[in-house]
Chain A
Amino acid sequence: MVWVSRRAWRRFRGDRLGFAGGVSLGLIGVTMILLLPFSTSWFNVQDLHGAVRANPTIAMPTSYDVYSVSLSESLLGSRFVGFGSMMHSVAGVFGFDDLGRSVFFRVGLGWVISMMIGAGAAVMATVIGVGWGTVSGLAGGAIDQLMMRIVDILYGLPYVLFVVLLRVVLADPMTDWLGGRSQLAGVVLVVLAIGSVSWLTMARVVRGQVLSLKTQGFVEAASANGAGSVRIMVRHIFPNVVGVVIVYASLIVPQAILQESFLSFLGIGIQSPLPSLGTLASDGVNAVNAFVGFWWLIVFPCGMLFTTLLAMNFLGDGLRDAFDPRGKCGMVGSG
C-alpha cells in the first residue's frame, strides 16, 4: 500500500497540469477560508450605495458615489447597514449585486458552501458506494443480484422529482433535527440529494474491481489461511480499491458542484440569502441580458466557479494517471 501511494505521488508530481491544479486549488482554498470570518458576517449586508439596478451601466460601481442615502434608509428601515467608507472599497472589488450586497463576500462564502456540497457528496458517495460495492462483489450470487438490481432501480429514478420531493418532505424534520437552523438544513438537503445519486456509479465501479480482485491469488491465499470475510474485506480488498476510489471521489466533487449550480438555476438548490457559486452564477445569468451589462455579476462568480472546477478536473485527471496501474507502461503508447 505504502509503495503504491509513493509511486503514485512520484508520478503525480511529474504531471504539471495536475500539480498546478492541486496547488491553485489549495491557494484558493486557503484564501477563502481566511476570508470566511468576514464573508460570513458581511455576505448579506445591503449597501444601497452600491445597488445600481436603477442605473444600468457598463461601469462597475466600486467608488463610493453618494446615492440617496435617505431614500434607501427609509426604504429599508433598520435593515439598512452600510459598509462604511473603509469596508466599502474592499467589499466593492467585485462590485455589488442588485440588492447592494458585496459580490466579493458572497463569492467568498459561496465558494466555501459549494466546496462543502462537493466534499459532502463525495464523502457520502464513497462511504455508501464502497461499502455497497464491496459487499455485493464479495457476496456474489443472489445477494449480489439483489443489491445490483437496487442500484439499477435507483439509477432509473427521475432525479429532479427526487430532489424536489426531498426538499419538500425533509425540510422541516431536518430543520428540527439541526436545532432550528433552516439555512444549514437547506445545505444538508442539497448534499443528501446529490450524494444519494453519486454513490451509484461508485458502487458499480467498486463492485467491478472487487469481482476481478476476488479471483486473484492473494485473496484465495488469504481465505485458504482461514481469514474471515470481514478480514479479507478490510485487509486485502480495501487497500487495492483505494486508488480507484480516490480517483472517482475526486471526480465527484466538481460534478456535485456543477450539479448544484443546475439545481440552483431551477430554484431547488441552495436557498437565498445563502450564496453558492451556483446560485451566484445563475443569479448573474438572470440579471444580465443583451441590453443590461451587469457583467461583474457574471464574470466574478463564474470566473471563480470556472477556475475551481478546472483546477479540480486537472487534479482528478492527474490522480487518475498517477493511480492507474497501467500507467507504468503508459509510455509505450507515446510511440
Chain B
Amino acid sequence: MITYALRRLLLLIPTYVGITAVTFGVIHLSPGSPTLFHGSDGGSQEMSEASWKRLESHFGLDRPLHVQYGQWLTRSVRLDFGTSFSDGRAVLQKIAEKLPWTLLLSTISIVGGLLISIPIGIRSAARRGGFFDRISGVLLYAMFSVPSYVVAMLLIVAVVVIPIEAIPISGVRADHFASMTPLEKIGDISRHLLLIAICFTYPSLAFQSRFVRGNMLDVLGQDYIRTARSKGLNERAVIWRHGFGNTLIPMITLLGLLLPTVISGSVILEVMFQIPGIGKLFYDAVLQRDFPTVMGLSSLTAMLVLLATLLADLAYGLADPRVRYDSARA
C-alpha cells in the first residue's frame, strides 16, 4: 500500500510536467501574441519594431520555447507563477481574489447536490420501477436537458417580473455590506448566491442520483440483503445500513470526479450573475493570451485533478480490503 502510494505519487510528476508542457506549448504556439493587446489600442496604432522587441524581451518571450518552459517550471515548483501580462499583478494574488467565491459556490453545489441526489437515488432504487422512480427519472432528465444559461435567464426574468425583491440577481453583496452584522452578512451573501447556486447544482443531479441508484440496485441484489430482510430487519435499516453503507465505496469514485470541478467555475454563469470567479478569469486570460495567468490556473487545476484521482484510488484500498494494488493493475 505504502509502496503503491509512493509509486503513484512519483508518477504524478511526469504527468504534471506533461500537462503543463502541452498547455505551455499550445498557448505559446498559437497565433496572437500578448504584446498585441499591450502595444496597440485594439490595432488602431502600429507599434515600432524596436518597442515591439522591447516588449517581447520584457515578457521574456524572445527566448527559445523550451528555455521559457524550463524557467516557468522551476518557478512553478515554488508556487511562483509570475505576474499577469494584462495588468502586471501577481498571478497568485489574482487567483486568490477570485478563488473564495468559486470555492464557496462549488462547495455549496457539491454538498447540496449530494444531499438532494443521494436520497433520490436511494428512494428510487428501493422501489425500482415504482411511481417515485419513474417521476424522479423523468424530472431529473428533463432538468439535465436544459442548458444552465437558459435556466439562469428564466430565473432572472422570474425574479424581476414577479417581483421577488429579497433575491438580488447579480453581484455578491449589497451596497451597505460593510455596515452589517456578521449574521446579516451571511444572509446577504447567501441571498446573492442563491440563483447561481441553483444553476450550478441542478445539471449534476441527474447523473449523481442515477449513479447512486445504479450502485444501490447492485447492492440490493446481493445475498446479504436477502438475509437481512429474511431475519426480519425493518426495511429502513436494510436500505440505509446494509444497502447504502455498501455503496459508499463507489461513491469515492464520484467524489474523485467532483473534486477537480471545485476550482473550475463557470464563465457563463459568472458573467450572467456578475460574480467574480475563476471561470471568467481563465476565459479572459485565454482570450488576452495572458500566458502566466493561463499557466497558473491550468497547473493548479491539473494538480487538483491528479491529486483527486490518486486520493480516490488510495481511498478505495482503505475502504475496501478486497482491493489489492498489484503491479499489473496499477
Residues of chain A whose beta carbon lies under 8 Å from any beta carbon of chain B = 17, 140-141, 145, 149-150, 152-153, 155-158, 160-162, 164-165, 168-169, 211, 254, 258, 261-262, 265-266, 278, 281-282, 285, 288-290, 298, 302, 305-306, 309-310, 313-314, 317, 326, 329-330, 332-335
Contacts and interface: CB of A to CB of B under 8 A. Distances in A.
Contact of B220 (A281, A282, A314, A332): A332
23 contacts: A152-B19, A153-B18, A155-B305, A156-B301, A156-B305, A156-B306, A157-B19, A158-B298, A160-B283, A161-B27, A161-B286, A168-B32, A169-B30, A254-B145, A258-B145, A265-B268, A285-B150, A290-B156, A314-B141, A330-B217, A333-B128, A334-B127, A334-B129
Given A149-B11, A330-B217, A165 B27 contact: yes
Nearest to A333: B220
Contacts of B216: 333
A17 B11 CA distance: 45
B171 interface: no
B176 interface: no
Nearest to A164: B286
A204 to B, nearest CB: 11
A136 B146 CA distance: 36
B328 interface: yes
B23 A161 contact: yes
A228 B269 CA distance: 53
Contacts of A169: 29-31
A302 to B, nearest CB: 5
Interface string B279-299: 000110011000000100110
Question: Chain B binding site: helix, strand, loop or mixed by DSSP?
Answer: helix
B141 A158 contact: no
A290 B221 contact: no
Contacts of B306: 152, 156
A157 B23 contact: yes
A281 B147 contact: yes
Nearest to B219: A333
Residue picked from B149, B217, B287, most chain A C-beta under 10 Å:
B149
Nearest to B140: A313
B237 interface: no
A302 B151 CA distance: 11
A174 B294 CA distance: 26
A289 B134 CA distance: 34
A251 to B, nearest CB: 10
Identify the 7 closest CB pairs spanning chains A and B, nearest first: A309-B145, A290-B160, A156-B19, A333-B220, A153-B18, A156-B302, A165-B30
A298 B153 contact: yes
Nearest to B30: A165
Contacts of B125: 333
B221 A329 contact: yes
Contacts of A155: 305
A157 B22 contact: yes
Interface string B83-99: 00000000000000000
B9 to A, nearest CB: 14
Nearest to A306: B145
B17 to A, nearest CB: 9
A108 to B, nearest CB: 20
B32 to A, nearest CB: 7
A290 B157 contact: yes
A265 B7 CA distance: 43
Interface in B96-154: 125-130, 134, 137-138, 141-142, 144-147, 149-150, 153
B58 interface: no
A118 to B, nearest CB: 13
A165 B31 CA distance: 8
Nearest to A324: B214
Contacts of A141: 328
Nearest to B297: A158
